[in-house]
Amino acid sequence: MSDTAATIFTAIAGGLFALAVAYISYRAGRRQTTDQATVEHGQWLRGQRQQGYLTFVDTWDTTVESLQGLQRSWEARLRAYEEGGRQEDPAEESSRLMRDAWRAVRRDLERVELLGPQRINFALRAMEDAFREMQDVITAQAMDEATCPHWDEWNPVLARANLARFNFHAAAIQTLRQPPSPEGESEGLEE
């Protein structure tokens, strides 16, 4: 092989090596940028979830507290209405309070549902079912127009609502404690 051919061969090999290094560097740089963007999005989503979960739990607690207040004051409200001391019928008042309560809970529930992940959505369904059960007990009481209300169903329904809240809280902790990773969010999607 002549010196010229060796020089040309070395130049071609060097050029191919440089192209290979450039391509590998390009791919590695793109991968690093993609990974960084995925982690940053994960951090943003984690913050949104934390805010959404806290807002939802606060709304839930306020709503359940107001429903418990309605339940506790039912007899007094009914007596005051029958004696003419109250303008609003307790059945109509409870219906209005239930609509307002569901509107508040639904707004925050839908936000949390959008943020996911699926384990949170499962916990939300249980909370929604518990809310509907509380609503059914109060609505049934309002339909009966009982002067001595029978709230036998209330405590078990309230216990299920509290359990559903506890399970949501546990799912939220599990979700928020999972740090964002370059692979993105895959855990919980196959549940």
pLDDT in tens, the chain (191 residues): 678 888 888 888 888 888 777 777 777 676 777 778 888 888 888 899 999 999 999 999 999 998 888 878 777 777 777 777 666 777 777 788 888 888 889 999 999 998 889 889 999 999 999 999 988 888 877 776 555 556 778 889 999 999 999 999 999 999 888 887 777 665 444 33
Q: How many other C-beta atoms can be found within 10 angstroms of the C-beta atom of residue 92? A: 11
ω into residue 90 within 30 of 0, thus cis? no
Residue 166: name the closest of 191, 118, 130, 132 by CA: 130
C-alpha–C-alpha distance, residues 42 and 36, integer Å: 10
**What tokens were used for 163?**
């359990």
C-alpha–C-alpha distance, residues 71 and 77, integer Å: 10
* First-to-final CA distance of the chain: 66
Element (H or E) spanning 141, and its range?
A: helix 118-144
If you search the block for the tokens 């509107």, which residue do you land on?
Answer: 103
